[in-house]
Chain A
């Protein structure tokens, strides 16, 4: 069973360009989470998605950032008009559907995409 896949692993963009980061969850997982890790810091939650639905985007910057998880295909984190401050590692995690009661399932993390804005 393949783990969470992210691509590309490394992405270089010039200021003003767009960055698209992809995440394929583990088989059977329908929930995806995106986190950002700035240099020498911990991970910060950005957004939580189910298929075709954004559940919690409380950690997303208000502008330039968007995320989707379509019915078919990977989840995409899109950053428009990148700036140097967007340089970070972006991690995706997936989990099975959360049961109606009880503790949520574990999140399994991908290897991350390291974005460098020049």
Chain B
């Protein structure tokens, strides 16, 4: 079945460090891929998405590229801020389905 595997946390970085959170997926067909962010005590917000191979999603300095050959959608940011501290979820939606399948989440903490 369809699934998402992402890097386990917690990840702790200093401010202005480079961030990578790995995400790989298993799916039939051509799924859409997402990164969601959850700030403490809040619901999920869509951070970025990509709907086909080689698409790059980007938002707020974060980027992720849909790599079909490696079935990956790694999240990157060149210089993190304290305000980026949150839990990040990689997710997919199969091309023929409506439900979203989430990874287990990666908690990110940024030190000033």
Contact = CB atoms under 8 A, between A and B. Distances in A.
Whether both chains belong to one complex is answered with yes
B98 A31 contact: yes
Interface string A76-118: 0000000000000001010100100001101111111000000
B51 A103 contact: yes
A48 B103 CA distance: 19
Nearest to B102: A42
Interface residues of A, number: 29
A58 B45 CA distance: 24
Contact of A43 (B89, B93, B98): B89
B17 interface: no
A45 B100 contact: yes
Contact of B99 (A56, A109, A111): A56
Given A42-B103, A44-B102, A45-B100, A103 B95 contact: yes
Interface string B74-108: 00000000000000010001010111111111000
A59 interface: yes
B5 to A, nearest CB: 11
Nearest to B105: A42
Given A45-B99, A55-B98, A59-B99, A106 B89 contact: no
A52 B79 CA distance: 47
B27 interface: no
Given A42-B104, A43-B89, A103-B32, A98 B98 contact: yes
Given A106-B46, A109-B44, A41 B105 contact: yes
Interface of A: 4, 6, 31, 33, 35, 40-45, 48, 55-56, 58-59, 91, 93, 95, 98, 103-104, 106-112
17 contacts: A6-B43, A35-B102, A42-B89, A42-B102, A42-B103, A48-B99, A56-B98, A56-B99, A59-B99, A103-B51, A103-B95, A104-B93, A106-B46, A108-B46, A109-B44, A111-B42, A112-B43
